[in-house]
Amino acid sequence: MTGKEEARNTRTIAVDLVARVEGEGALRVTVKDGTVQDVELRIFEPPRFFEAFLQGRHYSEVPDIVARICGICPVAYQMSAVHAIEQVFGLHVDGALRDLRRLLYCGEWIESHALHVYLLQAPDFLGYDSGIAMAKDHPAVVTRGLRLKKAGNAIMTLLGGRSVHPVSVKVGGFSRVPLRSELNGLKEELLWARDAAIETVRWVADFDYPDFMPDYTYVALHHPDEYPFNEGQVAVSNGLQISTTEFEQHFVEHQVSYSTALHCTLQGTSYLVGPLARLNSNQDHLTPLVQQVLADTRTVMPLRNPFHGIIARSVEILYALEESLRLIDRYEPPPVSALPVVVRSGTGMACTEAPRGILYHRYQVDGDGVIREAKIVPPTSQNQSRIEQDLRLFLPRLLQLPDQEVALACERVIRCYDPCISCATHFLNLEITREGVA
Partner 1 sequence: MSNPELRQRPRLAVIKFASCDGCQLSILNLEEDLLALGQALDIAYFPEASSDMRAGPYDIALVEGSITTAEDAHRILSVRQQTKVLITIGACATAGGIQALRNWGDIEAYKQAVYPRPDYIQSLSTSTPISEHVHVDFELWGCPIEKGQLLRVITDLVGGVQLRLPADSVCLECKRRGNVCVVVAKGMPCLGPVTRTGCGAICPAMGRDCYGCFGPSEGARKGPGLPPNTTSLAKHFHDELQLIPVEVLRRFRGINGAVDPFRNESTVWENKG
Catalog residues that contact partner 1 under the rule CB under 8 A.
17-24, 45-53, 55, 57-58, 61, 64-65, 68-72, 74, 115, 119-120, 123, 129-133, 135, 139, 142-143, 146-147, 149-150, 153, 160-165, 167-168, 170, 174-176, 254-255, 257, 260, 262, 337, 411, 420, 422, 426
- Rg over alpha carbons for the chain, rounded to the nearest Å, is 22
Which residue, 228 or 378, is less far from partner 1 as judged by CB? 378
DSSP-based three-state secondary structure for 3: strand
Instruction: List all residues 6 or more positions away from 111 whose beta carbon is below 8 Å from its beta carbon.
Output: 149, 152, 153, 156, 163
CA angle 425, 429, 431 (to 5 degrees): 135
DSSP string, 246-305: GHHHHEEEE--TT-SSPEEEETTB--B-SHHHHHHH-GGGS-HHHHHHHHHTT-PSSP--
Question: Would you say 303 or 374 has its CB closer to partner 1?
Answer: 374
CB of 234 to partner 1, least distance (A): 23
User: Could you tell me the CA-to-CA distances from 348 to 98, 291, 360 in Å, in that order?
Assistant: 18, 36, 11
Residue of 339, 341, 63 whose CA lies nearest to 177? 339
- With respect to partner 1, which residue has the nearer C-beta, 255 or 291? 255
Contacts of 172 (CB under 8 A, 6+ apart): 82, 86, 91, 93, 338, 339, 340, 341
For the bound state, the minimum distance from the C-beta of residue 32 to partner 1, rounded and expressed in Å, comes to: 25
Q: Which is nearer to partner 1, 19 or 300 (CB)?
A: 19
Residue 355, amino acid = P
d(CA 155, CA 129): 30
Nearest approach in angstroms of CB 43 to partner 1 is 12
Least distance in Å: CB of 351 to partner 1? Answer: 20
d(CA 147, CA 346): 44
Q: Indicate the residue among 35 and 130 with the shorter CB distance to partner 1.
A: 130
* Residue nearer to partner 1 on the CB measure, 279 or 414: 414
Burial of residue 325 (CB within 10 Å: 0-12, 13-18, 19+) is: middle
CB of 264 to partner 1, least distance (A): 12
Closer residue to partner 1 (CB): 77 or 203: 77
CB of 97 to partner 1, least distance (A): 14
Looking at the Cβ atoms of 123 and 306, the one nearer to partner 1 is 123
The rounded distance, in Å, linking the Cα atoms of 153 and 204 is 22
d(CA 83, CA 228): 14
Q: What one-letter code names the amino acid at 91? A: L
The least distance separating partner 1 from the CB of residue 309, rounded to whole angstroms, comes to 18
Q: Min. distance of Cβ 70 from partner 1 in angstroms? A: 5
